[in-house]
Amino acid sequence: MHSADEEQPSLIKASRLRVGEVACGVVFLALASAVAISIGPADLPFGGVLRAIVARIPGTGVRSGLNPIDNGILWDIRAPRIVLGGIVGATLAISGASYQGVFQNALADPYLLGVASGAGLGATIAIAVAHVGLGATIGLLPPAAFLGAVCAVSATYTLAKSGRHRNTQSLLLAGVAIGSFLTAIQTFVQQRAEPTLQQVYAWILGGLATASWGEVVLVIPYVTVAGAILLSCRRILDVLAVGDDEAQSLGVNPARVRMLVVAAATLGTAAVVSVSGLIGFVGIIVPHTIRLVVGPSYRRILPLSLLFGAGFLIFADLVARTVLSPAEVPLGVITAGLGAPFFLVVLRNAHSL
């Protein structure tokens, strides 16, 4: 018979991230990127793509294996789209996993506290009032969506703190209230600017058709800071799983940790949503699938969500731009088509999570 002290190290060891799991994530991401970079309306030879990538490395002396037109397609269209898709998918997945850890709810997602409605309102105002088209990638649209998302979550926190009971339930209810209010305003703005409805709906459905290196540069600082904070909190999320009282006895301040994690997840989500639109279900599908495979420890869920989330969205975007080629299906439609049935399965089994 073993004592509790003797069993604790084995439990800690069992929750550690394994090399094989990381390797699977890296292979999945690499495979998704390789397939997506080669397939499209203009198929690129994979060998030529590899030579073109190696040719960009200083000192290799390798010449690109692509003609000038294909080379332009690779570096100006397809590569930034794949990189941005990976960043968006990774950020939504790790943010969703963090929200689930903070609220102890497998159905929580990155849009829980009003990010989606705030970003949607900001984008709608930019398009409808300022007459900004979807091609304005580094113009007014992304900052407007980002500002709207941040303001929405700030309003949610302010409303939650103004009540008598300051807990996670009041925060969630405040998020629902703020989200509904901002959605109503968004609908009013859309009605007042009816000619821009198509552009607004195109943004709301999400997509990476206008992806550019400028957008990649725009979001990298935000997602880097957010990702670093969330990954550094993965051990503490495991501690929160045992309850607030037990966490406090171990020297953890649950309220402060929740504030930090939610703020970081919101920052990252707002940044990627501002350039991709509202792409749903990634923050639920990826973390929960990983949880089913590797167990409940966030020391494993968060890093793996980063890798598999990136690969998942790259694959989803590949489907979005090829299934009806040369036309594109909104990326949000693809992820919803995959996520809605998955969400129903999770909801049906939520009592056991």
What average pLDDT does this structure show over 31-44?
89
Number of domains in the chain: 1
Per-residue model confidence (pLDDT) at position 347: 67
Per-residue model confidence (pLDDT) at position 131: 61
What average pLDDT does this structure show over 12-37?
87
35 found inside a domain: no
Is it the case that residue 36 has pLDDT exceeding 50? Answer: yes
Per-residue model confidence (pLDDT) at position 166: 62
Grouping H, G, I as helix, E, B as strand and the rest as coil, residue 129 is coil
Residue 107: which pLDDT band, with cuts at 50, 70 and 90?
confident
Contact 117, 184 (CB under 8 A): no
Per-residue model confidence (pLDDT) at position 136: 45
70 found inside a domain: yes
What average pLDDT does this structure show over 89-115?
91
Residue 261: which residues within 8 A CB-CB, separation 6 or more?
98, 99, 101, 102, 229, 230, 233, 237
Q: Report the share of the chain in percent with pLDDT over 90.
A: 44
26 found inside a domain: no
Residue 4: which pLDDT band, with cuts at 50, 70 and 90?
very low
Is it the case that residue 340 has pLDDT exceeding 50? Answer: yes
Q: Of 197-201, 254-258, 348-352, give the lowest mean pLDDT range.
A: 348-352
Retrieve residue 183's tokens.
């959605």
Rounded-to-integer distance, Cα 39 and Cα 49, Å: 11
Rounded-to-integer distance, Cα 61 and Cα 210, Å: 32
39 found inside a domain: no
Higher-confidence residue of 6 and 316: namely: 316
Per-residue model confidence (pLDDT) at position 53: 85
Residue 46 phi/psi, 5-degree rounding, is -65, -40
The CA-CA-CA angle for residues 56, 62, 63, to 5°, reads 85
Q: Of 14-23, 54-63, 315-324, 343-352, give the lowest mean pLDDT range.
A: 343-352
Rounded-to-integer distance, Cα 261 and Cα 294, Å: 22
- 336 CA to centre of own chain: 14
237 found inside a domain: yes
Per-residue model confidence (pLDDT) at position 5: 40
pTM for the whole thing?
A: 0.88
Q: Return the percent helix, strand and coil in the chain, to nearest 5.
A: 75, 0, 25
Residue 12: which pLDDT band, with cuts at 50, 70 and 90?
very low
> In sequence order, what E strands does the chain have?
none
314 found inside a domain: yes
Residue 82: which pLDDT band, with cuts at 50, 70 and 90?
very high
What average pLDDT does this structure show over 138-166?
82
Higher-confidence residue of 333 and 6: namely: 333
Orientation of helix 19-38 relative to helix 79-103, angle to 10°? 140
Q: Of 80-84, 207-211, 231-235, give the lowest mean pLDDT range.
A: 207-211
Contact 307, 28 (CB under 8 A): yes
Own/partner long-range contacts of 189-193 (Cβ < 8 Å, ≥24 apart): 189/121, 189/124, 189/125, 189/128, 189/129, 190/124, 190/128, 192/128, 193/127, 193/128, 193/129
- 203 CA to centre of own chain: 16
27 found inside a domain: no
Rounded-to-integer distance, Cα 278 and Cα 268, Å: 13
Rounded-to-integer distance, Cα 93 and Cα 82, Å: 16
Residues spanned by the domain of 267: 46-352
CATH of residue 296's domain is: 1.10.3470.10
Q: Of 65-74, 180-189, 249-258, 342-351, give the lowest mean pLDDT range.
A: 342-351
Grouping H, G, I as helix, E, B as strand and the rest as coil, residue 40 is coil
What average pLDDT does this structure show over 19-27?
95
208 found inside a domain: yes
Q: Considering the chain, what is the average pLDDT of its residues?
A: 85
Per-residue model confidence (pLDDT) at position 67: 85
What average pLDDT does this structure show over 226-241?
92
Higher-confidence residue of 2 and 58: namely: 58
